[in-house]
Every structure is written in C-alpha cells, then in structure tokens.
Structure 1
Amino acid sequence: MSEIDEIVGEFLVESYENLDRYDEDLLALERAPSDGEVLGSIFRTIHTIKGTCGFFGFERLESVSHVAENLLGKLRDGELVVTNEIASALLATGDALRGMLGDIEATGQEGEADHAELVATLERLHAGESAVVAPPAAAPLADVTPVGTGTTADPVGDTEPPKRLGDLLVEQGVASADDVALALHAQELGDSRPLGEILMEQAKVPVGEVDQTLASQASARGLADSSIRVDVGLLDELMNLVGELVLARNQIVQLVTEDQDSSFASASQRLNLITTELQEGVMKTRMQPIGNVWNKLPRVVRDLSLSVGKQVDLVMEGQDTELDKTIIEAIKDPLTHLVRNAVDHGIETSEQRVAAGKSATGHLVLRAYHEGGQVNIEIADDGAGIDATKLKAKALEKGLISAQQAGAMSEREALQLIFGAGFSTAAKVTNVSGRGVGMDVVRTNIERIGGTVDVNTELGQGTTFKVKIPLTLAIIPALVVSSQGDRYAIPQLNLLELVRLEGEQARTGIELLHGAPVYRLRGRLLPIVRLDDELGHTRRDDARDVINIVVLQADGHQFGLVVDDITDTQEIVVKPLGGHLKDATLFAGATIMGDGRIALILDVLGIAQRARVVSEARERSASLTDRDEAVAANDARRTLLLVGVADRRAAVALSEVSRLETFDPATVEWASGKEVVQYRDEILPLVRLGDAIGVYGGGNGEGPLEVVVHEVAGRAVGIVVDAILDIVEQELHLDQGDGRPGLLGSAVIQERVTDVLDVAAIVATVDPARFASDTFLGA
C-alpha cells in the first residue's frame, strides 16, 4: 500500500466515525434545537470532511458537504432554526456522504450516484424556503453505532455484513453443508480450533481453498471494521497486566524445572507460548512510527535555516521504524535539539560552502533503522565537521580540563567534551545557542531511557550523531547475576561479553595498575569494578578458583564488573523504584523474579560513575608518565601475530588486527595509483608489507593474497604479507635499531630475530593525512 493510500484509508476511517456521531448529534439536536454545543459538533464534522476531501480531489463529495456546511453555518449563527425538514435533509446528507465514502473505499472513485436533488433541497433550506424532503432511509443499526461497541459495523449503506467462513465455503462448492455442520458441532463439543483447521484435518477442504476464502472474507470487511480507537491509558493498563502475566509465567516456568510432572510441563510450555504471543501483540499496539516525531522537524529546519541565513535540505529515511510510545515521547526533545544543533553549528552558510567547493545548499539526513533489538537513529550533516583542537582549547579556556589532560586526550575523548555541562563553542549567545545548555541534557535524557549517543566527525565533510535506544522500557531482556546471595539484573543493552577465569588464571589474571584493578582482555587493559565493593558488602577472600567478569559499556567506555555468579538471561518487567530511593544511583528499577523475590536492576552508567571508571579513564591517560606509557605499550605487545615477508619474520600486536582475510590476486584493482580490493561493499586499500618496510625479494607468486586487516578512524586498510605464521604471547624486549620507517624495533620471538611492526606508520602510507596520528596501541 502506497503512502497516499494509507492517508486515504485514515481519512475514510475518521469520516465513518464522525458520521456515526453526526447521526446521533442530529437526532439530539432535533429534540433540543437550541443546544449550541451539539450544533457545533455537527458543523465541525461536515467542515472536517469537506476540507479533507478537497485535499484529495473528491469534488462531488466536497460539493455536497459544502452546501450542508453553509446551511449549518446559518443554524449556528442563529439565522435559521432547526426544523424537521432541516433535520431530515441533513440526515439525508449523512447517508449520501456515507455512500460516496463507501464507493471510494471500494473503487477509489466517488461513484455515479446523483445528488442534485439533495443539493437543491439544501440550497432552498439555506435560502429560508420551505422544502418537502423525503425522510432518509432507515440506516442499518451499525451506521449509528459508535465504533468499538462490539456491533458489526457496516459503513456503506445497505451492504450486508461479511459472510462467515462456513457459508462462503458452501457457496463456492468447496465443502458441503453437512461437512461444515459437523465441524461446527465439534466446536460446540469443545474443539477450540478454527473451523478451517478442523475441515482441513478431516480432509474435507484443501488447504489452499481455505486460505483463499479467508483472504476474500478479510477483503470484504470495511475499513471501519478493521480499526478501532483505544484510549492510551487503557493500553498502558493492559501493558501492566501483560507484565504481571510475564512475571507469573516466569514463576511457573521455574516451578516446572523443579517438578517432573510431564502434564504440568506441557501446560507450562503452552502458557509460555501464549504469553509470549500476547506480549508481542500488546507491544505492537503501543508501537508508533518514529515519523510521528519527525513530522514537525521540516518546519523546525525551515524556520531555523531562515533565521540564521542558511540553505538546508532535509532528508528523512526510515520514518516507518516503530518504537514504544513512551520512548517516542522521551526522544522528541533530544532529537529536536540535535537537528537544531546541526543547522546552527554544523552546516555552513552558502558563501562558506561555495568557497569550500560544496553546493550552496547544506544536506541534513535523518535515518532510523532496527538493529540488534534496538533502534538506531542517525542525524548526519555535510557541514564543516567538529575540530577537536578547538574543542580542547575552549575546554581549557573554561577550566573544564587541565593542559596536561588536553595534551593526552585522543580525538574521540575530545569530541565527548561537547556533552559536558556548560560547554558551548558558540561565539555569542542567541536564541538558538551559546548558553552551554543542551548537549549534556540530550545525553542525560537518552541515557535515562537506557540509550546511548555518540558522535563521529570529519573536518570539512560533516558530523554524524548516532543515537541507540531500546524498543521499549516496559519489558526488557536482562542478564541475572548475584552478589553474596542477592540477585541483580543487568540490561542486555549494556552487555558486551562474559569472561570466566578459573584456577591459576583466576588468582593472577586481575592485576593492579596505579592501584586500580585491571584485566588484560585481548591485549587491552580493562578496568575492573567489584560489585561487592559498590554495594558496600564486606569483601570476601580474593583467592577464588573462579572469577566471573561481566564486560559492560557505559558512556563509550568498557569495564568489567566482577560478580559472584551468572544465573541466566530472561525477560524482566521493569518496576520503578519508590520516591524515597530516587537518589540510589546504582539502581535503575526493580523486577520480580520467577520465585517471587525482588531483584534490583543495576544502572550501568551509575555504577561506572560511582566507581569513577569514566572519569578515571581520562585522568589516568592524562597522568601517565613516560615510564608508565612504556610499561603500558610493552604490556599491549604481549599477544602478537607472527607473519612472514620475503625471508624475514615480523610481528604485529593482535589488538591492531581486526580480521585476517585471503583474496584472489585477480580481484586486485587500482585506484588513485594504489592497489585496492572490493571488500564488504567498500573499497579496501592495500599496502604491501615488504614495500612499506623496505624488504624485497618475496611475494605471493600466483597464490592467494594473505591480508591483515587493520581498522582505524572508521576505515579499514589491508596489509599484504607473504604468510601468516602463528599467534604468540610473550614479553618483549625491544631493540630500537636504526629507526627504519614502519618498524618499532626488533625482538627475539620463538628463538628468532623478529621485526616488530609500527602499524600506524605502515597504514599512513595509504593516506598520511588521515592515518598519521594513530599510534601503535590504537588508543
């Protein structure tokens, strides 16, 4: 169905509902002609239909409603008084409008019915003349029955209600009346299956015939029958009841694991299936397209671009992406602010864009899509980008960071400064920006609903803000963990992976760096937070045989949460905490587990802030001495990938390796004088390791290309080697050598002298401007 068809369908449903109320109001007005409120309701109904059908080009429908509106206008202004003649003419108008709406629904056209006599009667009554009007034909009961009362609605005059499946099958000669009667009798005796399923099992009707008949039965149902308006409060109450049902389901499922009764297990499985389907159905009733939030943004962009003297073209993709209504309301203001920020700060003026070789009109793209059980929203502009150097200078000026911190900040950390409270780069305060209030509120509001916001930028090319939010807040998947006998739930949105240390690794795996516990996860140092400590529990003996680490992400930083046990993953119903617990920053809510006990839901960001994981990551990087940096670099090089080039061996830190690939030499192409291959719908530049470090005489011959893929700044580069030899874990003692480009030095690995590669220098040969600033550690 096209977008215009959907809009026409909404118009028809709304018009049917209005005409149902229109008939009731006219009958009430006939009894109380002086009731101005009822008369106003009748006038608004006709006025709404007239205005909307004019937009769609339904001229005959518009002309009839226009004449009726003129008559109602005189009644509303007190120039005429309601009489039986006027009431009958207006009721006949309702029937005529309903008939044309039915024709539009059936054929897309207004039909051929002649309403000239009705129009003439309305015009005579409008002129104050008396007119004899035949009383309107008695409308079916459904025509004056409000939608949702349970009565089968028939919005199109005398059309009969849709026939039952059994009657249709008999009429089409697919089944005999006796077969249908026997199937209906089986239902009366307690068979809960649909009629078609019973007939198919008895081999009385082919499967395809039942499906076709059901489809024709559905198409015969009017639009007014297929939709219903429900109060949002009722939906919220229904959602709460489904949440309680999910809790009861969880309890019964847990009981089944303790009980060996097979019949109980079968009933439990059926309950589990029905509850899941009911939950999904109710969730869908609360889902709304994100376009409901976006529909006001074109006006915002237009007005703001005019006020700041810019030309901006707004493109919206994925408007049909659906979210829970509560999420929709929560992200409305943050999205509006991000859009305003892109127009005001991101996109340049037309003169600046032309001078930079761009089109005079800036482009702003809003994109939404589902991924991994959540919704991604991107706000991308093709403006000037964000200068990390200017951000650090502004933060220094405002005293938000120290000079030492600024010097140690990576570009990614510098970009996070825009989310700081009170931070603004605007040169002056206006009604749009400059007060330092906005981006910090955006992040706070998005994180409050369990989402994240990140920013990527490229100078001269533009900026993209990426917002990740959950589909719903009511029922979420979570990991259940325990600490000293108490259970806690961790939302899976924050979960990255699980790590289990056993035996000697459990006793020595967690080390101290500047007094802070860390774990070496694939060559990178992972800050460790102990849940016992954050909860104020007495620390138990650390000499454990097993340590469970839950790797989480908060505010763009990863950390490991040490827990006693990891139980399971399950869907939980989120219950808000009481007002007296609003300051408990470690918890985001509570839930009821399968055994009826309460489990608190951990606030991952709150734990990270309390443990100072987020802030300490920056402070620690700013306070590292040269010796500390050397130790950290040495540590990161313990896990190495050994490769061969010519007759030499080389090693690269495994943390620098994104993937290992093999390519057919025939797939290698040339672009801008460099070798490339098509890889994952992108162009992958290649650099020959031998050429990069000045070692020649090797080569892959006619065999496949062995490629080490390194990714940095959102772009991948492939390093071509002769062979991939091994992965080793070893302490390095580097000999700095003669400082040859592409090498950090040499070391003895597996009793052979091995070159240790400077990956940043090697990939910089592809595009020095983009890659030269990256370090060997990739920090």
Structure 2
Amino acid sequence: MDDDAEIIAEFLVESHENLDQLDRDLVELEQQPDSRERLSSIFRTIHTIKGTSGFLAFNRLEQLTHVGETLLSRLRDGEVVMTPPIAEGLLAMVDTVRVLLDVIERTGHDTDPAVDVVPVVAVIEGLLAAEPQAPAVEAPVPEPPATDLEQPEHPEHPDQPDHPDQPGQSDGWDGVERRAVVDASVRVDVDLLDDLVDLVGELVLTRNQLLQRSLGSTDAELVRASQRLDLVASELQESIMKTRMQPIGQVWSKMPRVVRDLSHQLGREVELVMEGHDTELDRSLLEAVKDPLTHLVRNSLDHGIEPPDVRRAAGKDAKGTLTLRAYHESGQVVVEIADDGSGIDPATIGAVAVERGVVTRDQLARMDGRDVLGLIFRPGFSTAAAVSNISGRGVGMDVVRTNIERIGGSVDVASEPGRGTTTRVRIPLTLAIIPALVVGEGGERYAIPQANLVELVRIEGDDLRRQVEDLAGAPVLRLRGKLLPLVSLAETLGGTALEDDALTVVVLQSDDVRFGLCVSEVHDTQEIVVKPIGRQLKGLAMYAGATIMGDGRVALILDVAGIAGTVGVGATQQESTDGRGAGADDRTALLVLEVADGRRAALPLAAVARLEEFGRDRVERSGSAEVVQYRDGILPLVRLASAIGLPDTSDQGEQISVVVHEIAGAAGAAGAAGAVGIVIDRVLDVVEVAVTASEVGRRTGVTGSAVVQDRVTDLVDLDAVVARSGVPA
C-alpha cells in the first residue's frame, strides 16, 4: 500500500468511528440542547473530517462538512438553539457523510453522481438563514446498477453479488468480495497485547519442552503432534509480534517541531532530513527510545551545528543539515543522528575531562580517540561554557546510554572536527523472544543472542599450536590474516579453563568490537523467551537476562558488549604481523596456496569466488580439457602447477581442492558469469600484506614473486591461467 492509500484508509477508519459516536452525540444533544460539552465534541469531529477531506482533495465532502461546521459553530456560540429541524438537518448531513465515505472507499474519490449533496447543503444553509425547509431531506443512497428483475441469476457471472455497492461486497466489476476498510482493522488495548505476548512466550517455552521430550520418543504420533505444535506456535508468535511492531516514524513525528523551535531559540538555520521512517520495532522499545533520541537531537543543535555566520566563515552553507536515519542490520534497528556541524575535538574533551576529574592525565594518555569520545557519556561531563535551559548541567548523555543499554541496545559516537558528528544507536527489534545460540560451560548452559554471532571456529591438533598465539600476555587467534582476541568463558565466570587438544571458538561482535569466546560445548540454536533478571544480578554486566530451557532449567543470557567491557577487549583489532608498518592503502588480501611439493603461490583474494572440494571420480573430460559438473553447469579445470611451469602433484588423494574464479562478463554455463576451477594442493592461509613484487621468477602464469609469511611466493597471473582453461576472458 502506497503512502496516499494508507492515509486514506486511516482517514476512513477514523471517520467511520467518529460518525458512530456522532450519531449518539446528536441524539443526546437533541434531548439536552444546553450541553456545551456535547456540542464541542460534535464540532471537533466535523471539523476534523472537514480539514482532512480538504487536505485529501475530497471537495464535495469538504463542502458538506463545512456548512455543517458553520451551523454547529452557531449552536456552540449560542446564536442558534437546537430545534427538531436543526437536529434533522445535522443527522441528514451525518448520513450523507457516511455514504460519501463508502463511495471514497469503493472508488478512491467522492465524485460519484449517484450521491447528491446539494439538497442537504441547501437545507443546512436554509437553517443558517433561519428559513428551514420543511420536509427534511433524507440522506441520498446511491442506486445499484439496473438489473433484470425477471432474470435474478447472472448466467454470465453466476458468482457476482446482486448489490455491488453494499459495503463488504464486490466493487461491481470483478466479482471478488472484499472487506470494508472499517472492518479490516480493530483497536485493541495495549495491555491486552502485552498479555498476549507474555502468553505466547509461555507457549514457546512449553513447545521447547515438548520438542525436547519428543526427540528420543518412538511414538510417531507424539513426534508428529510436537512438530505440528512447533509450526503453529512459531506462526502464532510471529503474528503476535507483528501486532506490536510500529514504525519509528511515530517517534520522529515531533522532531520537526523540536528542531524548528530549538533552531529559532539558538539562532541556527537547520534542515531536517529523515530517512527510514517506516522502519519498525517493538512498541515498548519505541517508548524507551523516545526521550534518548530527543536528547540527542537537541545535543546536535546545541553543540554541533554552528550559527550561520560561523558556518560561512568556515566555508560551509549557512544552513546546517541534521539527518535522522533508521534501518535494519543484523537483527537490530540502527538509528543514526548525524549533523554537519563543528564535530567533537578529542583534545577539548580530554582537557575538560582532566579538569573536572573525570579521568587522570595518565589515564587519558593511554586512551585512543574512540575512548576519549566515550568520555561524553560519563556522569557529570559537559563541555558547555554556561548552564542554560538546554544544556550545560552534565546530565543527559550518561542517561541516554543508560536508557539505551537498559533495553539491550548500545550507543557510540563518531566525529570528525570541523565536519560533523554521527551518533549511532543500536536497539533490538523486540525484547520478548529472540533467536540464540546455546553453549555450555562448567555444567551450565548459557544463551548468546544470534544478532551478535559471527561464526563458529573449531581448531584442533597442529592448527591449534599454529593459529593460537600469545600477544602481550593475552591469547589471540590468527584468523584469516587478523589476530582475534580470545576470551575464555570459564575464566570470565570465575572458573578455570580446562586444557584440551581442541578449541571451540564462538566469534562474536558488538558494535566495532569483535572477539572470540572459547566455550566447552556448543548445543544448538533455538528461540528463547527473554526474562528479566533479579536486582541482585543487574550489577553484573555480563548478563542481559535469563530464559527457561526445554528441560525446565534456567539459562543466563550473555551480554556480549558487557563481556567485552569486563575483560577489556578494545574496538581495534591487531593486524597480522605480515607486512607490519605498511599503510592500509598499500595492503592486498591474498589467498596463499601450496602447489608442487611445498612450493607456494598466491592469488588475489578478490578474485576467489569459492573454495570447493571434488571427488576424483567426478572429473571428466571434454576434448582435451578436464571438467566437472557444477551447479547445473560445466566447470572447466586447470591445474595450477602445470599452468605456472611446476610439476603437478595434485593427483595424490581421493579429493581435489579447487579455487573457483568467476570471470565477470564472460559467457558460461556455471552461473551468469564464466567460471574456471583452479586445481591446487591445499589452501594455507589468507593474509593482508603490502606486496613488494620482484621480477625474480617471472614466467608464463607468474607475474613475479614476493615474500609472504617469510616464504618466497609466486604471484599468479590469472589471465594466463584462465587462457589455459579455454574460457574466454
């Protein structure tokens, strides 16, 4: 439904409800003509319908309600007294308005000639002129299309209803029944919705218990019934959750007025841009973020966007821009408040923080730029030179972070001095039921929200000794060219990590912080019902809540951001030691391969589409070329060792390892682009290094060589390799 259709639908629903109340009010007003409260209520209703109909260009409806509003205004001001003719005229107006609304719903406009508003308007104008017309005019009813009374059935359209203009019936053209818009929605008390969500949560818990019980059962009927319950409960949960989802535009609706008033008060010129106003999240979260978002908007105007003369002096447009943006990302709603103002100077923040005793000079010296910006969320911190009714008391940003984190969200700030500031707020879609990964440690189970889950890594044997290193006394995992901090869940919980010849790592991310959580067991993923934890545990930053598992036991929900803060994992990740000292712009991501008895070669990682393994029995021949059937197509193979002038040793073993390289724009059966499979011995690593190519080793299929991970490595010429496959580049 487009925006205009949605506005009209809401107008129709609200107007029909108001007209029902209007009928009752007019009858009571006729019995109690001195009731000014009743008169005022009737006047407001007609005034609302008139104003909206004018906005939507329903001219005849506006004309009708306008004269009715004028008559009601005189009744309210005491210029006219209620009489039976006046009551009849007003009721006729209400009936005609109702018919026009039905016409609008059916056709999208109010110009149906079957509905004539002129007689009703004439009656009310006569009442206004104190010349009431006797007899009272009844509300017009549009005539249905003429039908042959001698042929009650419609042989050509046997399913066509006899009264197409009747609400809830067909529109008289396609014979398809439809529901009137006023009957398509119902108003439900919010408390009732909250009760339904709680009941669905309990149903999900019961479903989880039954599913667990039925896993080992040999009773086929029980298994079938539990699976059916699982399906029904999931659909019911999804439907109930949708009833509580509301667009964030409801919170933003008052922002234009806030920005307008504040910009006038501060002497600023500000353009407000709002994007993603239809992004939906749970109603309870909307209430929780309303005040924090308002405070952030006020902060951007007061501390961010400069006065027009200051902006002109800095070479900027006199009018600043404040942007509100909302979108979904990784199971969360992200709300950005961005301005193109003066930005935040970390040096100023640091100086004020030391002056006010928020941090010491030694602590400040050890902070990076992100940590310094985070000081604005400390209680009592403010850079305002003077206290005003807008800011300067040091109360606000700490409350913003507290309120956002209370609902499981997070807030951080990025700023560039002179260019502007962006505050990014991340909040969950809902607080009631979330998907989670269940892990085990020390005989207990813990739930990790799936929104924070990146991947699972299992490291065994020689890989464990090669990939896990010690950096400044802390364990790190070398994962695809980066050193990922490792955190032991057992040690974080106060226990001792058990020595093992294998390591299970759950890679987690919260905002810009990514780390690996080492756990003893990984169970499964399931939807869990979030329960608040008691006051005694609220001070523990590692827990976001609790849930009840299928066997009735309680499992705590881990707070990923809280764990990162507890163990001191920073937002910046250590790069792999390869190419240390090179600028980020000079680094290239390479896939390092082993070919021909331990010799090494490297491909640009950007050229690698997929890594595959095929059984040797799947390799076939087409002419002189080796091929495999792959993804409903034919994938030509080329032996990398042979292509670069080395002896081919890839025939050892029952499987062959293949790097799939897609050639953009080339025709091929294996997908939209042509593709070639490069047969290798094995993949060694992915690294990001500054490549200093040498002419040494340059030959057909090799552009040169470089030192990668302290080994001389051939740099593969992909064009030459593709040419060997016969696939046109």
The question of a shared fold, defined as TM-score above 0.5 by the shorter chain, is answered with yes
Deviation per residue, 1:258-294 (Å, 9 max, x gap): 1133333333333222222222222221111111111
Deviation per residue, 1:528-586 (Å, 9 max, x gap): 444444545x546x323444333334574344434332211111111223456544544
Deviation at 1:660, TM superposition (A): 6.7
Deviation per residue, 1:84-118 (Å, 9 max, x gap): 43332222111111122223233313434333433
Distance 1:516 1:550, change over 3 A: same
Distance 1:158 1:75, change over 3 A: farther
| Mapped contact 2:608–2:662 kept (Cα < 8 A) | no
Deviation per residue, 1:437-495 (Å, 9 max, x gap): 33333222222222232333334433322222221111111111223222221222333
Which residue does the alignment assign to 2:69? Answer: 69
Deviation at 1:18, TM superposition (A): 0.7
**Which of 577, 581, 595 is 2:551 aligned to?**
595
- Cα RMSD over matched residues? 4.6
Matched, 1:393 2:351: yes
Which residue does the alignment assign to 1:472? Answer: 430
Deviation at 1:325, TM superposition (A): 0.9
Letter in 2 for 1:217: V
Which residue does the alignment assign to 1:282? Answer: 240
Query: Where does 1:316-395 land on structure 2 (aligned, <5 Å)?
Result: 316-395=274-353
**Which of 431, 437, 452 is 2:410 aligned to?**
452
- Structure 2, unmatched stretches of 5+, are 146-151, 161-170, 582-588, 594-599, 610-660, 666-688, 715-729
Return 441-450 or 522-531, whichever deviates more.
522-531
| Mapped contact 1:642–1:727 kept (Cα < 8 A) | no
| Mapped contact 1:643–1:726 kept (Cα < 8 A) | no
| Mapped contact 1:61–1:110 kept (Cα < 8 A) | no
| Mapped contact 2:694–2:705 kept (Cα < 8 A) | no
Letter in 2 for 1:14: E
Counterparts of 1:664 and 1:258 in 2: how far apart (Å)?
A: 46
Which residue does the alignment assign to 1:46? Answer: 46
Return 40-49 or 320-329, whichever deviates more.
40-49
Counterparts of 1:298 and 1:336 in 2: how far apart (Å)?
A: 11
The structure in which a higher percent of residues are helix is 1
Distance 1:44 1:491, change over 3 A: same
Letter in 1 for 2:99: G
Counterparts of 2:15 and 2:174 in 1: how far apart (Å)?
A: 25
Which residue does the alignment assign to 1:249? Answer: 207
Deviation per residue, 1:653-686 (Å, 9 max, x gap): 99xx99677999999xxxxxxxxxxxxxxxxxxx
Deviation per residue, 1:325-360 (Å, 9 max, x gap): 112122222222222222222223323333333322
Which residue does the alignment assign to 2:112? Answer: 111
| Mapped contact 2:697–2:704 kept (Cα < 8 A) | no
Deviation at 1:126, TM superposition (A): 4.7
Letter in 2 for 1:245: L
Counterparts of 2:508 and 2:153 in 1: how far apart (Å)?
A: 58
SS of alignment partner, residue 215 of structure 2: helix
SS of alignment partner, residue 85 of structure 1: helix
Percentage of identical aligned residues? 54
Letter in 2 for 1:93: M
Counterparts of 1:665 and 1:499 in 2: how far apart (Å)?
A: 31
Return 475-484 or 352-361, whichever deviates more.
352-361
**Which of 114, 118, 121 is 2:123 aligned to?**
121
| Mapped contact 1:507–1:545 kept (Cα < 8 A) | no
Which residue does the alignment assign to 1:20? Answer: 20
Counterparts of 2:547 and 2:504 in 1: how far apart (Å)?
A: 23
Counterparts of 1:132 and 1:481 in 2: how far apart (Å)?
A: 82
SS of alignment partner, residue 386 of structure 1: coil
SS of alignment partner, residue 385 of structure 1: coil
Deviation per residue, 1:631-657 (Å, 9 max, x gap): xx89xxxxx97999xxxxxx9x99xx9
Matched, 1:443 2:428: no
| Mapped contact 1:548–1:563 kept (Cα < 8 A) | yes
SS of alignment partner, residue 496 of structure 1: strand
- What is the aligned residue count? 610
Matched, 1:98 2:84: no
TM-score by length of 2: 0.71
| Mapped contact 2:488–2:518 kept (Cα < 8 A) | yes
Counterparts of 2:387 and 2:106 in 1: how far apart (Å)?
A: 58
- Structure 1, unmatched stretches of 5+, are 140-155, 161-166, 176-211, 622-628, 635-639, 645-650, 668-687, 707-721, 729-748, 755-779
Which residue does the alignment assign to 1:570? Answer: 526
Counterparts of 1:449 and 1:519 in 2: how far apart (Å)?
A: 32
Distance 1:696 1:501, change over 3 A: closer
| Mapped contact 1:101–1:110 kept (Cα < 8 A) | no
Counterparts of 2:563 and 2:345 in 1: how far apart (Å)?
A: 31
Query: Where does 1:153-552 land on structure 2 (aligned, <5 Å)?
Result: 172=157, 217=176, 220-502=178-460, 521=479, 526-536=484-494, 539=496, 542-552=498-508
Deviation at 1:24, TM superposition (A): 2.6
Counterparts of 1:291 and 1:555 in 2: how far apart (Å)?
A: 24
| Mapped contact 1:88–1:133 kept (Cα < 8 A) | no
| Mapped contact 1:168–1:213 kept (Cα < 8 A) | no
Counterparts of 1:439 and 1:118 in 2: how far apart (Å)?
A: 59
| Mapped contact 1:362–1:382 kept (Cα < 8 A) | yes
Letter in 1 for 2:530: V
Counterparts of 1:456 and 1:606 in 2: how far apart (Å)?
A: 20
| Mapped contact 1:449–1:469 kept (Cα < 8 A) | yes
SS of alignment partner, residue 217 of structure 1: coil
Distance 1:664 1:353, change over 3 A: farther
Letter in 2 for 1:440: D
SS of alignment partner, residue 488 of structure 1: strand
Query: Where does 1:607-646 land on structure 2 (aligned, <5 Å)?
Result: 607-613=563-569
| Mapped contact 2:305–2:341 kept (Cα < 8 A) | yes
| Mapped contact 2:508–2:514 kept (Cα < 8 A) | yes
Deviation at 1:516, TM superposition (A): 5.4
Deviation per residue, 1:132-175 (Å, 9 max, x gap): 344857x9xxxxxxxxxxxxxxxx88889xxxxxx999863589
Counterparts of 1:214 and 1:546 in 2: how far apart (Å)?
A: 70
Counterparts of 1:257 and 1:169 in 2: how far apart (Å)?
A: 57
| Mapped contact 1:455–1:465 kept (Cα < 8 A) | yes
SS of alignment partner, residue 46 of structure 1: helix
Deviation at 1:14, TM superposition (A): 0.8
| Mapped contact 1:53–1:59 kept (Cα < 8 A) | yes
Counterparts of 1:753 and 1:80 in 2: how far apart (Å)?
A: 99
Letter in 1 for 2:119: E
Distance 1:643 1:570, change over 3 A: closer
Deviation at 1:130, TM superposition (A): 6.0
Distance 1:418 1:520, change over 3 A: farther
Deviation per residue, 1:681-709 (Å, 9 max, x gap): xxxxxxx978xx7x886899998xx9xxx
Distance 1:159 1:370, change over 3 A: farther
TM-score by length of 1: 0.67
Return 577-586 or 438-447, whichever deviates more.
577-586
Distance 1:609 1:158, change over 3 A: farther
Deviation at 1:405, TM superposition (A): 4.1
Deviation at 1:19, TM superposition (A): 0.7
| Mapped contact 1:495–1:550 kept (Cα < 8 A) | yes
Deviation at 1:237, TM superposition (A): 1.6
